[in-house]
Structure 1
Amino acid sequence: MRRLALAAALILCPAAAQAWGGTAHAVIDRAAIEAIPDDGPVFLRRHVDYIAASAALPDSWRGDAEGFSKIEEDPNHGWFREQFAFLKPIPRSRYEFVLALYKRYQVIKDRDPATAARTNVRWTGTLPYAAMEAYDRLIVCMRAIRAARASGGDASVPEQHCAFQAIRLGHYIGDGSQPLHDSVNSDGWRGPNPNGYTRDRSIHGRFESSFVDAIGLKAGDILPRIGAPGHREGDMFEAVLRFLDQSGDRMETVYRLEKREGFRNPADKDVRALIYERTAAGAAMLRDMLCRAWAESAMPPAKVSPSPLDFDNPRFNPETGSAVP
C-alpha cells in the first residue's frame, strides 16, 4: 500500500517532475553494469545490488524541507534546451552557464518578463554538469582502486566510493535518457499547442512510472538492445550533450503516443518500443562512461599548468575564478 501511495503521489504532485520511476532507474543501472566488458570496471558487479537498489537516491535530495540540498540538486535532473536556445556553444563550466543565463535574464527581463522568469538554472537544468562531475569523481575513485591493488592493499573502500558515484552518474544519465527530462514540456505541453497535446502534468509519471511498472520492465528486456561499447575516445562532455539532444528529439513522440491513449494499454507495441529504446540508450551511455572512466584512471592525472586557479592560465575566466576544463 505504501508503494502504491508513493507512486500516486509522484504522479499527482504539482512539484517539479521526478525522474524515471524507481523501476526504470534500477533496470538502467543493472543492465549497464551487466553489459560491462571484461576489460572494464567489473568490480562494480560486486556492488550491483546496492547500486540498483539506490538508483533513485538523488531524488531524495530534492525534498522541500531540505532547502539547501533542493536548490543545489533540483536542476541536476533536467536539461530544458528550449530555454537556452540562445546559448551557443554550451559553456563547459557550470558557473559560466549560470552567469550566461543571468546575463540573458538581465537583457530580457523588461521586454519579456514571462520568459525571463524561467531563464535561470531551475528552469533550464544543469544535468550535463552533474553527470560530468560524477564522472570525474569516478575517475579519482578508480585511480585509488588501482593504487590499492598495485600496493597489495585493500581496495574495498575505494570500490564503495566508486559504487556511490556510479549511483549518482547512473541517475543523471538515466534522467537524460527520458525525453521529458530534456524539454520544457516536461510536465504537460507549454505554449502554443496546434497539435492539441495534453497539458496534464501527470503525463510524466504515467509514461515513466505507471507504464514501466505495468510492463514489468527488467534488465533482460534491454540488454540485447544495448550494443557494443562506445565513446572510447573524444570529448565526454560533448558526448553527453549529444546524448541529451538525441533523447530530447523524442519528446514529441511521447506526446503523440499519449494523445492516442497508448499509455492505457501495457501491450501497446509503440510505447513499449520507446521505453525499451530509451532505457537501453541510458544503460549504454552509462556503461560507456563507466568503462571510459576506468580506462582514464589507468593514466596519471593530466598536468595542468598553470593551475586552473592561476590568473595566468589562458583559459582563466575572472567571472568564475577558474579556467574551464
Structure 2
Amino acid sequence: MRPALLTTIAALVVSWIPSSAQAWGGAAHAVIDRAAIDAIPNDGPVFLRRHVDYIAASASLPDAWRGSSENFSKIEEDPNHGWFREQFTFLKPIPRSRYEFVIAVFKQHEKIERTDPATAARTNVRWTGTLPYAAIEAYERIIVCMRDVRAAQAVGRDAAFAEQHCAFDVIRLGHYIGDGAQPLHDSVNSDGWRGANPNGYTTDKSIHGRFESRFVDGMKLTASDIAPRIGMPGHRKGDMFDGILAFLNDSGDKMERVYKLEKRDGFSNFADGDVRALVYDQTAAGAAMLRDMLCRAWSESATAPAETRPSPIDFENPRFNTETGSAPD
C-alpha cells in the first residue's frame, strides 16, 4: 500500500472518530506524533518518516475504540488512557504485570468494600487506569516489528509491510504517551475536582475538554511550535517500564497547575501565556518521550531476542503467580 493511499485512509478514519472522544484533542495528539518522528536522528528508525502523515492523521484512533456502542472494546480500552495515581497509593511497588496490578486493586476493593463503600466504588481498574501497561506493551510490539524491518533491509527484501505494522503500533504508543503527557490523565481529578476542595477548584467535568481540546485548537498548536522544546535524543537508558512510570509521575505532578490556570478565566483567553506554556511543555515532553522510546526500540531491535527461561507462563518459573497464570516481567 502506497503512502498516498495510507494518508487517504487515515483521513477517512479520523473523519468518523467522535469529536467528544478525542483525548488531548485530535490536534495535540497529531502534533506530538509528528514532532516526535521529525525529531528522530539519522541513526534512529528513520523509515517512520515515510509514514508520518498516516501516523499523525490517525493519532486519535485509539479513542475510537472507546465508543459506547462497542462495549467489549470500550471496557478493555478505557483504562488504557488514564493513570489515576491517587487511587492506588496503597500499592508499592507498582507490579510489573498488568494482571497482577488488576488483581491487587480488586483485593483492595474487597478489603474496604464494607468499611468505605464510596472509596471502594472507585477502587477498580476503570478508576485506576492501566496506561503504563498499554504503553510498555505497545513499545515491545514495536521492537518486534522493527526486527522485521531490519531483517528485510538486511537481505534487500521489500520492508513495506513490516514498516506499516510498525506505523500502526506507533499510533498506539503515541496515543498512550500523549495521554500520559496531559496532567489530567494522571489524576482522579481528570474531569473536575473530587473530594476536599479548599482552593475552590472547578468541579465542572468540561475542564478536561476545555483545556486539551478547546484551548489547544484555539491557540492553533503546531509541531513547529514544540520542535525547539523537545531537546536532544536521550535513548532512555535504564528500565523502560520504570521510565514510563517516572514520565507519568512528572506529568501528574502538574495536575493542580491546570486547575489553578482554569480558575483564572476558564481557558477562554487563547493568548494566555501561562496556559500556552503548559501546553507547549507537556506536548513537547510527550514528543520527546515518544521519540526516545522509538529510538530505544530501534536499538533493541538490533539484538536477537533472548528468550526468558523458564518462560513467564511456565509453572517452573520461580516467580510464577497462579492468580495470573504468569510470572511478572
Task: Give the TM bin, normalised by the shorter chain.
Answer: over 0.9
Q: Which residue of 1 aligns with 2:99?
A: 95
Q: 2:317 aligns with which of 313, 316, 321?
A: 313
Matched-pair contact (CA < 8 Å) for 1:262–1:268:
no
> 1:228 Cα deviation (Å)?
1.0
Structure 1 segments of 4+ aligned residues over 2 angstroms from their partners: 6-10
| Structure 1 residues 31 and 9, CA gap change in structure 2 (3 angstroms) | closer
Alignment of 1:50-89 (within 5 A): 50-89=54-93
1:48 aligns with 2:52: yes
1:191 deviates by: 0.5
1:180 aligns with 2:178: no
Classify 1:188/1:35 alpha carbon distance in 2 versus 1 (closer, same or farther; 3 Å).
Answer: same
Asked if 1:166 is matched to 2:145, the reply is no
2:211 aligned partner: 207
Q: Map residues 289-308 of structure 1 onto 2, 5 A cutoff.
A: 289-308=293-312
Deviation at 1:318, TM superposition (A): 1.4
Deviations 1:268-314 (A, max 9, x none): 10000000000000000000000000000000102311111111112
Following superposition of structure 1 onto structure 2, how do residues 113-128 of structure 1 map, counting pairs within 5 Å?
113-128=117-132
Asked if structure 1 preserves the Cα contact closer than 8 Å seen for 2:28 and 2:216, the reply is: yes
Check whether the contact 2:18–2:64 (CA below 8 A) recurs between aligned residues: no
Aligned-residue offset at 1:32 = 0.1
* Cα-to-partner distance string for 1:167-202 (whole Å, 9 max, x where unaligned): 000000000000000000000000010000000011
Q: TM-score, normalised by structure 2?
A: 0.93
- Is 1:240–2:244 an aligned residue pair? yes
Cα offset, 1:9, TM superposition: 6.3
Equivalents in 2 of 1:142, 1:211: separation in Å?
36
Query: In structure 1, how many angstroms separate the alpha carbons of the residues matched to 2:49 and 2:236?
Result: 21
1:221 aligns with 2:234: no
- Aligned partner of 2:290 in structure 1 is 286
Residues 17, 63 of structure 2: 8 Å contact kept: no
Q: Which residue of 1 aligns with 2:38?
A: 34
- Native 8 Å contact 1:81 1:183 kept in 2: yes
Q: Residue by residue, what CA displacement relative to the aligned partner does 1:42-100 show, whole Å, maximum 9, x if unpaired? A: 00000000000000000000011101100100000000000001100000100000000
For 2:311, the aligned partner's letter is S
TM-score normalized by the length of structure 1? 0.95
Does the 8 A contact of 2:79 with 2:131 survive in 1? yes
**What's the CA shift for 1:231?**
3.6
Find the aligned partners of 1:48 and 1:161 in 2 and give their Cα distance.
13
Measure, in 1, the Cα distance between the counterparts of 2:306 and 2:26. 37
Displacement of 1:229 in angstroms is 1.2
Quick one: distance in 1 between partners of 2:147 and 2:19?
41
The Cα offsets for residues 116-147 of structure 1, whole Å up to 9 and x where unpaired, read as 01111111100000001100000000000111
Q: 2:151 aligns with which of 147, 172, 179?
A: 147
Verify the 8 A CA contact 2:17 2:64 in the aligned structure 1: no
Q: How many residues align?
A: 314
Q: Which consecutive unaligned segments of at least 5 residues does structure 2 have?
A: 1-15
Aligned twin of 2:6: none
CA contact (8 A) 1:262 1:271 kept: no
- The Cα of 1:232 is off from its aligned counterpart by 3.7
Distance in 2 (alpha carbons) for counterparts of 1:156 and 1:238: 33
State, as a whole percentage, how many aligned pairs show the same letter. Answer: 75
Q: Distance in 1 between matches of 2:86 and 2:233?
A: 31
Q: Which runs of 5+ in 1 are unaligned?
A: 1-5, 11-16
Cα deviations by residue, 1:230-266 (Å, 9 ceiling, x for unpaired): 2442000000000000000000000000001161111
Give the letter for the 1:41 counterpart: P
Shift of the 233–56 alpha-carbon distance from structure 1 to 2, 3 Å rule, reads same
Q: Which residue of the partner structure matches residue 259 of structure 1?
A: 263
* Amino acid of the structure 2 residue aligned with 1:210: R
Give the Å deviation of 1:317: 1.2
